[in-house]
């Protein structure tokens, strides 16, 4: 690839929340920034409606573990109405030891993994604690499409287990800021199965992926152009999987 093409290659923000911008008609602030492709996340019916109305191109949708208090009826209704043909994948879904009711969280995660399997979709995860239970469930369901852990911040041992299952990782500032993660980050970068993320909810963080790339360049000695190429290739793979899953139907 030529240097010129590299320079023009975009950053991909694999995980952010654009609902606030869309609700306040501030979508315009996203589009002119041609340097970044934002992959959004919709976590309830209202946010899904906004993403559909504004014609957002790339977005995940799903029920966050914090919603495990919802009734089975509401969960079912949400999942029945999900626009599976429009979303890039199901997310952010997962487990979080800080929220109540581990059992309900497992139920919510499992039912969404089953939908991902049924609709042949990629998945994106929020995982805080309960890692080995999560790994066990992943082995059981064995999803064939791309699986991305967002804001990965667990031990190297957990990383090795997830790695065996072919997981991708989206890297944010939180992972990079913790010096104990160096070994894990080295391994993630050398395997090239990574994305960058802002997890932005507001304008102040919306362009964070540039800072993430700068930190990787500075601390891990990978040129920003190379970072851009790797995430672009991974993004192509993610979308190719999605296209294949649609055409197979």
Identify which range of 54-62, 99-107, 191-199, 240-248 contacts Zn ion by CB under 5 A: 191-199
Whichever of 201 and 239 has its CB closer to Zn ion, that residue is 201
Residue-level length of the chain: 249
Whichever of 103 and 116 has its CB closer to Zn ion, that residue is 116
Q: Are strands 168-171 and 147-150 parallel, antiparallel or unpaired?
A: parallel
Nearest Cα to Cα of residue 161 among 184, 194, 128, 181: 184
Q: Are strands 168-171 and 194-196 parallel, antiparallel or unpaired?
A: parallel
Whichever of 138 and 198 has its CB closer to Zn ion, that residue is 198
Whichever of 62 and 228 has its CB closer to Zn ion, that residue is 62
Nearest Cα to Cα of residue 80 among 47, 50, 115: 115
Smallest gap from residue 103 Cβ to Zn ion (A): 23
Smallest gap from residue 199 Cβ to Zn ion (A): 5
Identify which range of 83-91, 100-108, 194-202, 241-249 contacts Zn ion by CB under 5 A: 194-202
- Residue 227 Rama label (left phi>0; alpha psi -120 to 50; beta): alpha
Q: Are 109 and 95 within 8 A, CB to CB? A: yes
Residue 102 sits at the vertex; the CA angle it makes with 98 and 108, to the nearest 5 degrees, is 105
- In angstroms and rounded to an integer, the radius of gyration of the C-alpha atoms of the chain is 17
Whichever of 161 and 199 has its CB closer to Zn ion, that residue is 199
For Zn ion, the binding residue among 13, 199, 208, 241 (CB under 5 A) is: 199
Q: Are 123 and 116 within 8 A, CB to CB? A: yes
Count of residues touching Zn ion (by CB under 5 A): 1
Identify which range of 6-14, 67-75, 170-178, 192-200 contacts Zn ion by CB under 5 A: 192-200
Identify which range of 30-38, 110-118, 199-207, 209-217 contacts Zn ion by CB under 5 A: 199-207
Smallest gap from residue 140 Cβ to Zn ion (A): 25
The helix or strand, by DSSP H or E, that contains position 41, with its residue range, turns out to be: strand 40-42
Smallest gap from residue 30 Cβ to Zn ion (A): 16
Q: What is the largest CA-CA distance in the chain?
A: 54
Smallest gap from residue 183 Cβ to Zn ion (A): 25
The contact set with Zn ion (CB under 5 A) reads 199
């Amino acid at each position: 690839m030529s240097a010129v093409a590299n320079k023009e290659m975009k950053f991909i923000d694999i995980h952010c929340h654009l609902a606030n911008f869309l609700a306040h008609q501030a979508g315009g602030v996203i589009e002119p920034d041609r340097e970044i492709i934002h992959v959004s996340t919709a976590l309830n019916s209202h946010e899904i409606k906004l993403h559909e109305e504004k014609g957002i191109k790339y977005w995940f949708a799903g029920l966050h573990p914090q919603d495990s208090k919802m009734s089975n009826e509401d969960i079912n209704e949400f999942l029945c109405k999900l626009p599976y043909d429009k979303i890039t994948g199901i997310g952010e879904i997962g487990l979080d030891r800080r929220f109540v009711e581990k059992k309900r969280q497992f139920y919510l995660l499992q039912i969404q993994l089953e939908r991902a399997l049924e609709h042949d979709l990629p998945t994106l995860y929020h995982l805080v604690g309960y890692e080995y239970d999560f790994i066990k469930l992943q082995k059981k369901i064995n999803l064939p499409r791309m699986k991305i852990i967002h804001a990965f911040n667990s031990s190297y041992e957990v990383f090795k287990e997830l790695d065996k299952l072919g997981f991708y990782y989206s890297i944010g500032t939180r992972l990079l800021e913790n010096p104990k993660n160096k070994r894990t980050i080295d391994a993630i970068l050398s395997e090239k199965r990574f994305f960058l993320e802002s997890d932005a909810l507001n304008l102040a963080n919306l362009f964070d992926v540039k800072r993430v790339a700068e930190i990787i360049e500075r601390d891990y000695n990978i040129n920003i152009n190379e970072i851009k190429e790797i995430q672009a290739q991974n993004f192509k793979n993610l979308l190719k999987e999605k296209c294949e899953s649609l055409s197979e139907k």
